[in-house]
Structure 1
């Protein structure tokens, strides 16, 4: 097989974060089969898990039924605005401010 005959297209999978609060961290390894473990908090006993968006509702119900799970919450990260081009907080940049920031970046 040559490289030209096998064309694989890369598709970006939509992901959703899930915060799973557990009673004991020993069982947190069992959550690997449901998604990718991103972070484990030893102090507060929670696991941040990333799942495919299409499987999210069913998987969230399955995880919530596990005996070692205290509580499951959907991550709000997808709902946050991450485009900070022309605004700083609730204030819009003036033309003067844009020039000032542009000049600072040009000097570097």
Structure 2
């Protein structure tokens, strides 16, 4: 079994009913009714194509990719005197 690289996307939408159709393009993880965004995961290899496709949808305001890959996860212990 191979582990597939995923990319998280925050998709800001105008209409939440139409936002459910984003499930065709990736795995919906969370839908915020108050802030009107959908967080979904897409395949990392085809993420550029999927982002362009999502941005063309009429109910989408903007798409923000996750910055998790750019964050360093190495932490060091503080040195006490």
Could you say which structure has the higher helix fraction? 1
Q: Which has the higher contact order (CA 8 A, sep 6+)?
A: 2
Q: Please, what TM-score do these two structures have when normalized by structure 1?
A: 0.69
1:93 to 75, 78, 81: 78
The structure carrying a bigger strand percent of its residues is: 2
- Tell me how far 1:66 sits from its aligned partner: 0.2
1:73 is aligned, of 39, 44, 64, to 64
Structure 2 gaps of 5+ residues are none
In the alignment, structure 1 residue 39 sits paired with structure 2 residue 35: no
Larger Rg: 1
Q: Which runs of 5+ in 1 are unaligned?
A: 1-9, 98-108
The total of aligned residue pairs comes to 81
Q: Distance in 1 between matches of 2:48 and 2:10?
A: 14
Q: TM-score, normalised by structure 2?
A: 0.90
Return the match for 1:59 from 38, 41, 50. 50
- Cα RMSD, aligned residues only: 1.5
Superimposed CA distance per residue, residues 62-108 of structure 1 (whole angstroms, 9 cap, x where no aligned partner): 00000010111111122212233xx2xxxx533x68xxxxxxxxxxx
What's 1:14 paired with?
5
